[in-house]
Each structure stands twice: as C-alpha cells, then as structure tokens.
Chains A and B, each alone.
Chain A
Amino acid sequence: MSVDSSTVKHVASLARIAVTPEEAERLTAELNGILAFVDELDEVDVTDVPPMTAVVATAMKMREDRVTDGDRVDEVLSNAPESEDGYFLVPKVVE
C-alpha cells in the first residue's frame, strides 16, 4: 500500500502536527519507503494465528480501590506552560 500527500495531510491533522505543503511532499516519499518495506509482511501466512496481546503472560494485577496518592496540585502544575488558580490554562475552547 502507499499514501498520497492528501492522505499524509489528513494523518498529520489526526496526529495534530502542522505540516507545510513541502513537508507533506517529503513525508509522502519517506512514508511510502517505509510502507514498501513493511509490505514484506504480506508473505507471512497468519491464518489462525492469534495476535499478541502481552509478550509475557501475566494476570492483570488487582488492588483495593482506594486513594493512594494525590493532593499534589503544585507539583502537578509545576511544569505547566500556563496555569492559574490550580488549573492548566488553554486558549478558550467553548464560546
């Protein structure tokens, strides 16, 4: 399979990465190179093979449903580009 530059632009918008038309062109060629490489997998017969869900078979761990951590507002916000009154600040989302 291969992609065209409009698909690349669509995928970039899904991934929330701004790309210029020139970048989209270059990425199209690069992604097609990688896709051609992974197309080798078409040779493998995977009939009746289950997909891997965990590389090490383990049972999901359970624990008591109680609060074990929290109340660290200052630490949580310590790396925020913008914050105020215990909140992360972002551009207005709802009019």
Chain B
Amino acid sequence: MDFPEELKYTEDHEWVLPEGDLVSIGISDFAQDQLGDVVFVELPEVGDKIEVGKPFGVVESVKAVSDIYSPLAGEIVEVNSDLPDSPESINTSPYRNGWMIRIKPDDMTKLDGLMDASAYQAFIEQE
C-alpha cells in the first residue's frame, strides 16, 4: 500500500494535499482497499461551503456507503467532474485521478494537526 510523503492524512482516512492557498482532498489507498470496488461517487458543487465534521460527499462500493469528511472548513473551488463517470479511479489511482475536491480553507494552519505519512501508517496498523 502506498502513502505518499507529500500528503497529510486524517483518522477518517482522507488525504489532503496543500497547493498554495488551496488543498485537494481524496481518500487513502487504505480506505479504497477497505471499501472495495467503488461504483458511485457523490460530490458537492463549486461554491459550496464545507464544515469540519460534516460529510461533503459519499463514496459507495458494491457493499457499502461511506460518508467523506473534510478536515478543514472552507469553500469548494473545484470538483473532480470525471469521478461520477469513472468512480473506479478511486480504486486504481486514489491519490491522482481519484482526487475528489479542491477547497480554499478558511484556516490553513489547521493542516498542522493532521498526520504525516509515517504517523498515518502507524495509525492504520493499530486499527
């Protein structure tokens, strides 16, 4: 399983990639493996405000429905519009083609509270 060093990770198994004053968000390799074949993705719309602790989207595998959370509050500036037609990208390329949303966070410093790759790996080994 792959956990790129440049990403930050959450306990809900999302990843976050800082890009200037924006961040991209998706779900980790571990999360996609646990879910199994992803068949449906529901994303918010550009301009929507997202809050910490409230789901911004849904990923469904054949067997399960999973809410997706953002670790940062902010405004959606872009969504991966390819995903609804190719939800399997989340399985085959969770960190690149499987990205879900790009947001402008209200407070970038909240990123500091997230896990780096090695801390996340230790976290999932405990789970």
| A-B interaction | no
User: Interface residues, chain B, CB within 8 Å of chain A?
Assistant: none
